[in-house]
Structure 1
C-alpha cells in the first residue's frame, strides 16, 4: 500500500522488482514519520500546547503522505494506447518532481529548527533583546518629547506671569506623571509580549541565514522524497510488473466497456422496443485513439469554403 501500487501485482513480479517496491514502501513510511515530526513540532510551537500537536500532526502527516502517494502513483507508465507527446510528458513529470521537492523543503524546515534548537534559542534571545531595546529607545524618545513640551509650557508660563498657579502646576505635573506611567506600562507590556512570542518564522529566517549548514538537512529531505520517484520512474515498461499491471487494467476497462454497450442496447430494446447497437467511431475502442475513416464517403464528400457558407446565410436573409 505504501509503495503506491497494487500489492497483488507487485506480488507476481520477480524478486528485484519486489525489493524495489519494498524500498519505496520503507521510504514512504520514513516520509510519514518525518512529516509527523515536522507537523508536531510546528503546531506545538504555534498553539503552545504539546497535546494539541499530536492529533493535528498526525492529520497533516497523513494528508501530506497521501498527496505524495498520489503523485507517486501518477508517475507510473500507462499501458493504454495513447498519442505520444514527449515534451508534454517531460513537462508533466518535471512539475510533479518540483512539487515533491517543494513539499520536502516545507517538511524539512521545522526539523531544522528542532535539530539546531540550542543555537536558535541563543539567536532568538539576542533577537528579542534587540527588539525590546529598539522599542524602549523609540518609546522613551516619543514620551520624552511630549514631556519636554509640557515642561516648556510650564517654563513659558513662569516667564510670562513670573509665577504659575499652584493648581495649574499640579495639573501639569500630574500630566507628566501620567505620561511617565504610560511609558512604563507600554515598555512592560512589550517586554511580556516579546517574551511570550516564539517568532517561529523569524527563527527559521535567522537559522537559514546564519547557519547555512541547515540546508544540508533540506537537501537530505529532498533526497528522501525523490528516491521513491526515481525507483518508480525507472522501472522498465517491458518489466513483468508493467505487463501484469497493464493486462489487469486493460481487462477491467474492456470488461466495463462491454457491460456499457450491453446496457446501452437493453435501454433501447426494453424502453423503446427497437434494436440499436452502440456505434463505434474508433478502430480501437474503448481507448479511442484511432478514428475510423470511411474511404468511400470521404471520396464522395464535397468540402465547401467559408464564402459558400456566407453566401448561403445571406441568401436566406
Structure 2
C-alpha cells in the first residue's frame, strides 16, 4: 500500500511543473506539497475537459467531436497553466543586475506577475461558465444568455466560479508556502548552477579540441599547398644566385 501511495505521489509531483529530479531530493513534506499541486493540475485538466466538451455539445451535437475538442482544449489550457505556474518562482539564475539571494522569500509583485495572475483568473472564469450551465441550467438552449443570467441572478453560479478559480489559484499559494518554508529553490538554484558550470566546462573542452583539430588541419592543408610553391621559389633563387656568381 505504501509503495502505491509513493508511486502516486511521485507521479503527481511530475505534474506539478517542477523538476522531479530536484523534488525527490527534498523531504517528504515538500514532496507532499508538490503532489498536491499536481493533484490540482489534474483537477484543472478535468474541469477544462468537461467544460469544453459540454460547450461543444451545444454547438455540434457530436459525441466524438465533443470528446476530441475537450481533450485538445484541456491539454492546451493545462499546459499553459503549468507554464504560467512554473514562471511564478523566485529568480534563481544570477545576472549582472540581480544576484539571487536565498533569504528573499517574498513574492515579487510586478506588472508581469500581475498579468500572469490575471490570465490564470481569466482562464478559470472561462472554464467555470459551461460548468455553471451544466450544473445549474442543464436544459439551456440559449447558452450565452443563460450564462449571463446565471451570473446576474444565481449566487450559486458565483460560488461555483469562485470554486473553480480557487482550484487555479491554490497551487500558486502552495508554491509560495514551499518557497517560504523550505530550501527547495535554494537547492534548485545550486543544482542548476552546477549543471550550467559542468556543461560550460564540457563545452570549453570540446571547443578547445575542435579548435585545435581545425587549426591543425588548416595548417597541414596550407603547408601542402605552399610546399610546391616554396620548392619552386627556392629553385628559382638558387638559379639566380648561380647566375650572379658567374
TM over 0.5: yes
TM, length-normalised to structure 2: 0.71
Pick closer, same or farther for the CA change 1:230–1:87 going to 2, 3 Å: closer
Match of residue 190 from structure 2: 247
Asked if the contact 1:31/1:225 (under 8 Å) is kept, the reply is yes
Structure 1 segment 250-261 matched on structure 2, within 5 A? 250-261=193-204
Runs of 4+ off more than 6 Å:
85-88
**Equivalent residue number for residue 151 of structure 1:** none
1:15 to 28, 42, 57: 28
TM-score by length of 1: 0.56
> Contact 1:14–1:240 (CA<8 Å) still a contact in 2?
no
Structure-2 change in CA distance of 1:105 and 1:20 (3 Å): same
Matching residue within 112, 133, 138 for 1:92? 112
CA contact (8 A) 1:38 1:108 kept: yes
Q: Confirm or deny: 8 A CA contact 2:90 2:107 kept in the other structure.
A: no
SS in structure 2 at match of 1:271: helix
Establish whether residue 218 from structure 1 lines up as the match of residue 161 from structure 2: yes
Larger RCO, structures 1/2 (Cα 8 Å, 6+ apart): 1
For residue 31 of structure 1, what is the aligned residue in structure 2?
Answer: 44
| Larger Rg computed on CA atoms | 1
Superposed, 1:68-87 pairs within 5 Å as 68-82=81-95, 83-84=97-98
Say whether 1:115 aligns with 2:135: yes
Residue 121 of structure 2, aligned match among 90, 96, 101: 101
Instruction: Check if 1:268 corresponds to 2:189.
Output: no
Contact 1:38/1:107 (CA < 8 Å) preserved in 2?
Answer: yes
The equivalences for 1:1-317 within 5 A come to: 1-82=14-95, 83-84=97-98, 90-118=110-138, 121=140, 198-236=141-179, 239-273=182-216
Cα RMSD after superposing both structures: 2.5
Tell me, in whole angstroms, the C-alpha distance in 1 between the residues paired with 2:107 and 2:47.
34
Q: Secondary structure at the match of 2:63?
A: coil
* Structure 1 residues not aligned, in runs of 5+: 122-197, 275-317
Contact in 1 for aligned 2:33/2:178 (Cα 8 Å)? no
How many aligned positions are there?
A: 197
CA distance in 2, matches of 1:222, 1:111: 12
Q: Determine if contact 1:39/1:61 at 8 Å carries over to the other structure.
A: yes
Output one character per residue of 1:176-201: Cα deviation in whole Å (capped at 9) or x when no partner: xxxxxxxxxxxxxxxxxxxxxx4322
Query: Can you give the 5+ residue segments of structure 2 that lack an aligned partner in the other structure?
Result: 1-13, 100-105, 218-246
Distance 1:25 1:208, change over 3 A: same
Distance in 1 between residues matched to 2:152 and 2:62, nearest whole Å = 28
Determine if contact 1:2/1:28 at 8 Å carries over to the other structure.
Answer: yes
Partners of 1:107 and 1:53 lie apart in 2 by 15
1:77–1:237 CA contact under 8 A, matched in 2? no
Bigger shift: residues 207-216 or 29-38: 207-216
